Amino acid sequence: MVVGGGGHGNENDSTAWSSTARRGAGRGGAGRAAVDATDAPAPDARPTEPQATGAAAAQANDCNYTALYRQTESAVVAVNSSNASGNLGEGSGWVYRLSNGVAYLVTNWHVVANATDYDVQFNRGRWREAELVGADFWTDLAVLRVSDPPASATALDVADGSVRRGQPIAVLGNALGYEESISPGVVTGTDRAVSVFVRPGLNLTIPGTLQTDASAPFGSSGGPWVNCDGEVVAVMHAGTLPFDVSFGIPGALVRHVVPTLADGRNVTHPLLGARTVDLGPELAEANNLSVSRGAYVVDVPPWGPAAGELEGSPAIHRRTWLPYGGDVILSIEGTPVLDNEDLQSYLLLETRPNETVTMTVRRDGENETVSVTLGERPQVPPWPGLNATVPDETTTGANETTTAAANRDATPGTTG
């Protein structure tokens, strides 16, 4: 598996951001290219009609994809990022808001990362320069502003409501560098927690992501997933190779984060300061627990907000090598926690830094109530070295080896 995207990459990771490094004459050659040399054809070789690359014949009667494309084409853009060293890569985006002749575009944090200049291509080949308004690492979302969008540009609404498995959708964007692409498919999963490699020692896990079988190869990052009414249900985030399985940032998270970014303000996220994993039957048996659902507390760093309130695993089970003796979080603020995904989603969408939350935990065979005043996750700017609160040094503690606070709360099985 080769991972690519806007200068980011890890050849051993199984999940990839889906922006694509640009190649060819006049297109630069930065980053670890993730596709063969044919991934970015010259503009005159690109098709003028949308190409359906997904397998969605069974859903054809539920969704008129030709009409859907025509309804949304003026809102979808290609995003080219660059800096003083040259071109970095291509991604996708979409018009979130039009206000007083200004267009606000949504794309991914990893599409804009490390770049200082952004060129945006609207449909029918109309290029505009854009500027970065805001970016949020923890949700992989960013907002660009175009001061002179084409008069034909339109905005997409974000769907309000739940998304169901089997629901027909289309992924729109700049797949493989081919602008104005549409890939039909269905939602094949919900409430996923997908971990993506960012750099050595730092992974990003976003709870509540959606899964689809629609083809979304490199260049699709930041593109919208739309339902049959043309409303955005997710933003393309990552995909796996060689399988056509892709993951999108859910609409609920877009509604939660993007308005703040579009207003030029930083998004803050709560920090619990405890590493948790799903409690399943195997871990429950190793811990002699009468419950088998919940979020199991593996460790609680002494620097974190949960220190002194939650108890991590003090030992490893001799036979199974599983953590032993940690708390099990059963609910938060009265909301049941059936797995780690429930806990992470609640923290991300329902809480704020400095807020005190009450949790029910299983400890030593009894249910107990604990309260934790949440901290704040560190900011991770899209430009290295600019006001970063994430040091590069590796620190080793009694229960962890990590690269700073951000790493402790971005890796799989971690909340905050």
Inside any domain, residue 413: no
Take residue 157 and report the two structure tokens written for it: 């609404």
Q: Is the peptide bond before 242 cis (omega within 30 degrees of 0)?
A: yes
Q: What are phi and psi of 286, to 5 degrees?
A: -65, -30
Cα–Cα dist 92/175, whole Å: 8
- Say what the pLDDT of residue 17 is: 55
Report if residue 295 sits inside a domain: yes
Task: Give the number of domains in the chain.
Answer: 2
Residue 220 lies in a domain: yes
Please indicate, yes or no, if residue 416 is contained in any of the structural domains.
Answer: no
Query: Does residue 310 share a domain with residue 191?
Result: no
Distance CA 135, CA 381 (A): 7
- Please check whether residue 191 lies inside any domain of the structure: yes
Range of the domain at 353: 270-408
239 and 212 share one domain: yes
The vertex-415 CA angle with 282 and 302, nearest 5°, equals 95
pLDDT score at 328: 97
Residue 180, pLDDT score: 77
Whether 357 is covered by a domain: the verdict is yes
161: which 2 tokens? Answer: 């409501």
Asked whether residue 231 falls in the same domain as residue 356, the answer is: no
Q: Is the distance from CB of 187 to CB of 169 less than 8 angstroms?
A: yes
pLDDT of residue 175: 79
Residue 414, domain member (yes or no): no
Q: Report how far residue 317's alpha carbon sits from residue 287's, in angstroms, rounded to the nearest whole number.
A: 8
At residue 325, the pLDDT reads: 92
What residues form DSSP beta bridges with 192?
Answer: 209
**Domain C-terminal end among 242, 267, 292:** 267
Clarify whether residues 225 and 306 are in a common domain: no
* DSSP-derived secondary structure for 30-67: -S---S-TTSS--GGGS-SS--B-S--GGGTTT--HHH
Rounded to the nearest 5°, which phi and psi values hold at 335? -90, 125
For residues 100 and 73, membership in a common domain is answered with: yes
CA distance 203 to 112: 18
Residue found under tokens 């108890």: 311
Residue 207 belongs to what H/E stretch?
A: strand 202-212
Does 237 lie in the same domain as 190?
yes
Q: Assess whether 204 and 234 both reside in one domain.
A: yes
Residue 380 is predicted with a pLDDT of 81
Q: Is residue 73 part of a domain?
A: yes
DSSP string, 162-183: ---TT-EEEEEE-GGG-SSEEE
394 in the same domain as 277: yes
CA dist., res. 258 & res. 252, Å (int)? 10
Q: What pLDDT, on a 0 to 100 scale, did the predictor assign at position 99?
A: 92
In this structure, the answer to whether residues 255 and 397 fall within a common structural domain is no
The pLDDT value given to residue 241: 66
203 CB neighbour count, 10 Å cutoff:
18
- Does residue 126 share a domain with residue 275? no
Instruction: Check whether residue 232 and residue 285 sit in a common domain.
Output: no
Q: Give CA 134 to chain center in angstroms.
A: 15
Tens place of pLDDT per residue across the chain (416 aa): 223 333 333 323 334 554 433 322 222 222 222 222 222 333 333 333 344 444 444 444 578 999 999 999 999 999 999 988 888 888 999 999 999 999 999 999 999 988 999 999 998 888 999 999 999 999 999 999 999 999 999 999 999 988 999 999 999 998 787 677 888 999 999 988 888 877 777 778 898 999 998 887 778 899 999 999 999 999 999 877 666 788 999 999 999 999 999 999 999 999 999 999 999 899 999 999 999 999 999 999 999 999 999 999 988 878 888 998 999 999 999 999 999 999 999 999 999 999 999 999 999 999 999 999 999 998 887 765 444 343 332 222 222 222 233 333 333 344 45
Asked if residue 108 lies in contact with residue 91, where contact means CB atoms within 8 angstroms, the answer is yes
Residue ending a domain, among 213, 243, 267, is 267
DSSP secondary structure letters along 95-135: EEEEETTEEEEEE-HHHHTT-SEEEEEEGGGEEEEEEEEEE
**Domain CATH code at residue 361:** 2.30.42.10
Instruction: Give the domain CATH number at 123.
Output: 2.40.10.120
What pLDDT does residue 384 have? 56
User: In terms of domains, do 263 and 310 share one?
Assistant: no
